[in-house]
Structure 1
């Protein structure tokens, strides 16, 4: 038998359970596979799942390492996933920092679902063009 295809996963990293489950349910309802993590450390610890992540949705403020610290670690990987930052505390400065670091988007909570889905579709379409 041949190799099984690589599963493409959208990772959701947020220390609020309601946000993780809400985003996961939303994305699964439109056909995406998701995996959720309550901290940057938990996300980085699972190297097998990390290798399958095609996009990460990351809260800026997390318990433990911040979303920005997680991003800095991710960009050091051989094939870092694109990151969409989310925040309930984000002001213009935080948004600017996120985008200057290389995030594909910054969304404030409560999240505009249509905007989130547009960003996801754009990122994944760009990634699929190289396959």
Structure 2
């Protein structure tokens, strides 16, 4: 999920190239409206978005679907941002532009795929 449509498409296409299915959401609220336990295997989300940031989205998503792995992506790679991601229980934190190998490794780890 990313509020920037082109970035959202780029990450979703990368996920698909890595042989995973993806659904695109341009707002946190829209994703939460669609979220049900067991519907999604993993959430890949930007950190900074208007309205609701990725961390609040992560907290709310975890309340609806406990155990849902979350991978945050951000242009902001600083200790405060990484610390917030860890507090939300992120499976991973990746920097934009997202490296395909790093995304694949972290998706496999989040989904318990060797």
Q: Output the TM-score relative to the length of structure 2.
A: 0.89
2:26 maps to what in 1? 38
1: distance between equivalents of 2:35 and 2:43? 14
Structure 2 spans left out of the alignment, 5+ residues? none
Instruction: Provide the secondary structure at the position in 1 that maps to 2:63.
Output: coil
1:64 maps to what in 2? 51
Q: Does 1:90 align with 2:77?
A: yes
Q: Deviations over 1:66-117 (max 9, x none)?
A: 1111111112125341101111123121112111321011111111221111
Report the alpha carbon displacement of residue 51 of structure 1 after superposing the two structures with TM. Answer: 4.1
Between structure 1 and structure 2, the one with the greater Rg is 1
2: distance between equivalents of 1:76 and 1:52? 14
The answer to which structure, 1 or 2, has the higher relative contact order (CA under 8 A, 6+ apart) is: 2
Task: Say which structure is richer in strand.
Answer: 1
Which one of the candidate residues 14, 18, 37 is aligned to 1:26?
14
Which one of the candidate residues 52, 70, 75 is aligned to 2:39?
52
Q: Does 1:109 align with 2:96?
A: yes
Q: Output the TM-score relative to the length of structure 1.
A: 0.78
Judged with a 3 Å threshold, the aligned counterparts in structure 2 of structure 1 residues 67 and 58 are, in CA distance, closer, same or farther, namely: same
Conserved? CA contact 1:88–1:109, under 8 Å: yes
Structure 1 spans left out of the alignment, 5+ residues? 1-12, 127-131
RMSD: 1.9
Instruction: Provide the secondary structure at the position in 2 that maps to 1:42.
Output: helix
Q: Deviations over 1:15-45 (max 9, x none)?
A: 0111111111112122211001011101011
1:129 maps to what in 2? none
